[in-house]
Structures are given as structure tokens and as C-alpha cells.
Structure 1
């Protein structure tokens, strides 16, 4: 074959350049036509389609091209830079934590108190129950992790990370450790909270619930055992195992009725409502408000029928004025409504102020459409009247049952015991 300059024959089809190879180009470099890029002169200098531009300063050695509309854009202007999205890293091992003791066990997991071996921080380690799962990772666990990450608030428990064990069924959620839960604290306290302390706790609870609702999250299991409190007077909402987004499309069966612990369950759920919203959380907040005042749960029913009768007794039977669409509920026709009677709020809470009673009745209203919202409750006059809410730092500290602490009895000297041959000291015995 001759190596001279023979006329070019039919050229082989060039390899199509992918979009991933284009990313290797500089940001200011323009894309050239494939034919022009392959065309080469006999000399060593490639033929350019346009003459090289020379800057005004006279420098002609490798001038930096000016950005034009045809410049290659490496990412969309609507997408944040990569530095704002860190790389996904593998989960740490659960053995990075030292397990101290078990705190409690629920329907969806077991909570332990643990210590981070690197930092020494005390954390709450929640092991998800995945042993009996047949369809992969449970939706309840996904909802809980998503809700906790979406509702980052000073009064919502913070998720630190998710760690794994040796098998796929060992998944742990690492959260901040809080010393007390309100249910245990109320039963062990020698006296109930003061009015100023109740207001502080209610403001924190309503702030957390309002933040969750603004992020389209329903908690659906608010109760005193799911409210954690530290020794600095700050409470945090925990246990989002039944939480979900209420803006998502609902299936044909509607929202599940197996939500909220019975004593804190709203009447519309008790009567079979398949559509509900943020009002179910506010009913639970009203029950918690009453429990803080009474130092015991408001409705201690053994079943749903007894729960409905206790609500009827406190609020009075529902009427067309108090609950217009009551008859449209699935189980409304199966309940016998007692004769009309006034509510029993004043006799049940004789020491509560008029503004406080109005807030409680606004939270415990039959009609979900008329029930007060969390944002409206935060502006209620009850929180502006005397006594004003106490600063959280002024709260007293209590021994942590989760940490195995016990209340210490005050040390005081015992009375003197009379000895058998005891003699009183007289003035003659003193030298």
C-alpha cells in the first residue's frame, strides 16, 4: 500500500460521541462539527473553521475564550451545586455504640439507652422489628424516619443516623436521649405541675404539632408516654411510628382507623370516619392538656363503647349545632344518643381559669371543622394571662427512670438513742 497522498476513499463511519464524553470538555470550549474536527491539513496544524481571536492586550498565546451562548453547561442552573448534596455514605455499624440498658418496647421497635464509643454521647437506640417482615422494609419504619427527618424542630426528637447490624433484619435508628417521658413523670411526681409550668409545656407541644402540620405530617399517636422531657424543662415529641403525610393520595379503603391510643382517640375516628385530618392530633392535645391538669388521663376507658359514653358525659350528647354531619358517620346509627344535658367541664376542672377552660373546650370539640388549630391555639389569651408561662430553665429536675436513677431521700440525722448506762453531763463534770 502506498504511503503517498492518494485521494481519500470512503471513510469509515465515525463513533458517535455520547453525552457523557461531552462532559469532559472545558466549560468554555465550544462543540465543533464532527466533519470539521476530522478534517486535517497536510501540516501539523489542524484546520480551524474560524480564525483564533486575539485579545486587545496583544497576547496571542492560548487566549482564554469568552463565554458565549454556545458554551457547554455542565449542570442545570436550577440544580444546586454538588457541594450542597454530599455523597451517600455507607451506614455505620451498631457496634459503634455500647448498649447500656433497655428503656421500653413498643409495637414497632425496642428502645435502648446506649453510648457512642467515639464521642461518649448518650443516645436512644431504637431497634426496628423486621424479623417477621416478608415484604421488605416496613412502611411504618420508612414513614417514621421520613417524618422525623422532615419535622426538624426544637420540640421534636432529633434523628442522628441509621445504623445496621450483621443481618438485614438488624436496623437501628439513633436518636437523642431524653431523660423522662411525661406519663412516667406524672405518676412519680409528688405534686402536679403548676399552672405556669402547664402553659410552658402546652406552648412547646403546640409549637411541635404546628410545625408537623405545616410540613404535612400527621402524628396520629400523641399521648403523654410519647412526649419526652429533659431536666431543663424542654419537651420533645417522639414515636412517629403511626405518622404519615396527609397530603398524599389515599387509597380506596381510606385512612386507617387503627390509629391513636384509645384514651386519646378523637370521636370521629371512634365512629368510623375514613377521612380525617389535623384535627385528630388536636383532640389528642386536648386530652394531654387535661391530663397535665388532673395528673391522670381524662378518659380511662376499657373499650371503644365506654370511651364514646365518657365523651358524651363530659361534652354532652352531640347535636346538629355541635356536630352537623354526625349522622353521616358509618357507626353513628349504631350508637344510642342519651338525652340532652350540659357539659361537665366546669365541674371537672373547677380551678381552671375561664380562658383556660375555653382553650380546653376548643380543643375537645365534636366537629373537626370547628376544632381549633395548633396555630390558633398558640395565640390563645390563656397563655397571656397571669400566671405567665415559666421559663424552661426554672423547671425542677427529676431522677431519670430510663437511666435507672432513683429518687434520693433527704439525709437527716436520726434521733439519739438512749443507752443503758447513759448519764447526763452536769456542771460538776466539766473541769
Structure 2
């Protein structure tokens, strides 16, 4: 520890304490996590699940960076980049002033967390303990997912520990003791966090597992065999009888959220984990969800994933398909990171949902993510066109197909600097 000067203790958990410290050489601030368990050799340390996950997930801006690890006598010390405060501290600060975090700021936070989760899920891990305290925000508005001590490999064999996620953010499949839960538990937790940022309080605040499940039940409504068949099996297996509830209107529950935000939230907290939106889909969604933010709730209608906005016309459809295709391709280029664990995603239902099939009818409302094929109007007769007419027509087609002016890159809004302590 001679390299670091300890400043103060900032946290104390089950497995370790966190110290704010200064690097004596570079004068950079760092957070040192001192593990409570004693270790006698370095090989033991490198085999820890948290260390393995951190080493695997080092190259993403929304996952906290592990700078180094070392043994101080028998104490394992993990040295992280220092980040100013948590999302929990952010919204409590707003709550004390009688305010809530603005929606555009919430959008930025959720997008960045989803960005980190997408990378994590792609590389074979899911977090299992997402909560506002485990999401840090730097002064320049960058979100960092921390505390990977509960993270598990997606390919690891169940059963997993059921008492893992903090109760208020625990997915229903965990509450019902499902043995093989997976990455969708992170999405449910993220949905709970999103709602909490609008409400300045937890969405589901139960004092026990049973009460927690009933809180979810009374809000989302009682699920049916069609909505979540596995849930019905789990309920029967536990010998429970479901109370009958009608789903609440989220717009009445969270009146300060836009229609677009509520539709996204609905897709994140669905009963069936296989029907929840994925982190990768949330990454792609923001330009679609928030591009017309200035309009009223009545003017804006967010399509469900796989649905086409009603404003699309038959004439506009091919070009809009091409816009979506270009944006997806752009995301794929950004995420192109070869890894041997990527192969396992072929076996994960939630990350490899089948794409919607094409619909030829004008009334079709499905967004099509497949290859773009320009349609030829019935009155066009290519074979009878003169060469000059063909060139003119090709020029028009090229102009309409390869017009990139509509593409807009999404950049999370930066949050104002704060002087709050870590």
C-alpha cells in the first residue's frame, strides 16, 4: 500500500470495504476494494469470479476499469478508477430539492447502462445484482457498472443462488425459484431502476420475497398460461395460489414519464423473461424512441419491438427499412469484438430472438430488419426504356437509396458537474 495514500472509507459490504485513495506517483484518485477474506497466494486471487469477470470486461467505457490488484499481507486489494457518485446519490439529491431527474438525463443513464450490459452479455456474463448503488456516474456524465462480485457466466450450469439480486430489483423468475434464470434478470432490474428515477422511490418495495412478488403481481396484473407458461408451472410447484389483479396503467403510476419511456419500461419488466427487450435492442432503440422528443404524448406513439410506426406509408417503407438496416449495421461494426465466448450466444434464446418476417401488405406494421430490396412499381417497364431514360431512372434510384443525410448518431446527454463526494 506504499504506492497509495488512503483518504477515507467510502463503503463497507459483505465481502469487502472500499477506500478512497490517491496514487502517490500520478496523484490520480482511485477506489481500493479490500477483500475481507484472507488469501495466501496470488493464484487464489486470479481465480476469483469477480476478478475473472473484470479482466474479461475491461474494454468498455460503461464498465468500471480495474487498474491493478495486489496482495497486502493476506488482504487482496482491487484498485479501480475513481468515480464520483452513484445514481442513487443523484436522485436522492434531486428528491431532497423536491425535484426528479429530467427525462433526457434518465434516457442517457439507461442507454449507457444498457450499453454496458449488452457488452457484458455478449461476452458471456450477466450481472445479477443491478441496483442504483451499483451504477456510478462521473462528473462528465459517464455511467460505470460496478460490483461484479455476483456476476455469473451465461454458460455456467444452474442452479444459481436465488437470494442474489437486491430484493426490490429481483426478477419474478428468481422470486419463484427458477433454477436456470439468465441475462433477462438484468433487464428487469434495469426497468425497476428506470421507474425509480422517475418516481424518486423504488417501484416494487416489498419487505419479504412473498410481499415483493405480490407487489409485482398487483402492478403488472396476474399472468396467464399464455403470457408466461413457465411462471404458472413455478407457481404450481411452490404450491401458491395467485391472487387476481388487473394491470395498473403505468401512465397513472408514473405521470411524469413520456409515452415512449413507459412503452420501453413495459418491455423491460414483462413477466416472461423470453419476451423482455434485450440490452442490445435498447441500444438500438433510443434514436427511434426519442427522436421526436418535443411532441406531446398524444402525438407520439412508440411501436412495440417488431412493430412499424403508423406514420409509415407504402412509398416511404423501403427507405425507412434501409435507415433501420444502416443503423443496425453501424451498431454491429461498433460491437465487432471477436471473442471465443460469442459462440455461446447461439444457444441463448433471449439474445437471439427470430427477426420479424416480411409482410407485403400495405397494412403491415412490422419493422423489417432483413436485406433491403427496392420494389419495382407495376407500371415500370425497364426493357422498353431508352438508354437515356434508364440512366435518368438509375440516377433517381441511386439518389433515393444512398442518401445518408437521415442518419443521426446517438450521443448520451452529459450531466452537469457536481461537487458531491464519492
1:210/1:391 Cα in 2 relative to 1: closer, same or farther (>3 Å)? closer
CA contact (8 A) 1:266 1:283 kept: yes
- CA distance in 2 between counterparts of 1:180 and 1:331 reads 43
2:420 maps to 1:400: yes
CA contact (8 A) 2:218 2:245 kept: no
Number of the residue aligned with 2:128? 220
Report the RMSD for the aligned CA atoms in angstroms.
2.4
* Aligned-residue offset at 1:310: 0.5
CA contact (8 A) 2:225 2:232 kept: no
CA contact (8 A) 1:222 1:260 kept: yes
Higher share of residues assigned helix: 2
- Structure 1, unmatched stretches of 5+, are 1-93, 403-431
Number of the residue aligned with 2:255? 350
1:201/1:334 Cα in 2 relative to 1: closer, same or farther (>3 Å)? same
2:9 maps to 1:102: yes
Residue from 322, 325, 336 that aligns with 2:227: 322
Give the TM-score, by structure 1 length: 0.66
CA contact (8 A) 2:128 2:185 kept: yes
Pairs aligned (count): 302
- CA distance in 2 between counterparts of 1:163 and 1:173 reads 7
2:169 maps to 1:149: no
1:128/1:213 Cα in 2 relative to 1: closer, same or farther (>3 Å)? same
2:267 maps to 1:247: no
- CA distance in 1 between counterparts of 2:126 and 2:227 reads 24
Write out per-residue CA displacement over residues 303-340 of structure 1, whole angstroms, 9 at most, x where no aligned residue: 11110110011100111222122222267543321124
Residue from 194, 197, 202 that aligns with 2:110: 202
Of residues 142-151 and 208-217 in structure 1, the stretch that sits farther from structure 2 once superposed is: 142-151
1:137/1:129 Cα in 2 relative to 1: closer, same or farther (>3 Å)? farther
Q: Which structure has the bigger radius of gyration? A: 1
Number of the residue aligned with 1:46? none
* Aligned-residue offset at 1:172: 0.2
1:332/1:377 Cα in 2 relative to 1: closer, same or farther (>3 Å)? farther
- CA distance in 1 between counterparts of 2:250 and 2:142 reads 29
Residue from 236, 241, 256 that aligns with 2:161: 256
2:162 maps to 1:265: no
Secondary structure of 2:91's counterpart equals helix
- CA distance in 1 between counterparts of 2:141 and 2:39 reads 39
1:104/1:331 Cα in 2 relative to 1: closer, same or farther (>3 Å)? farther
- Structure 2, unmatched stretches of 5+, are 296-408
1:137/1:383 Cα in 2 relative to 1: closer, same or farther (>3 Å)? farther
Residue from 84, 88, 92 that aligns with 1:183: 88
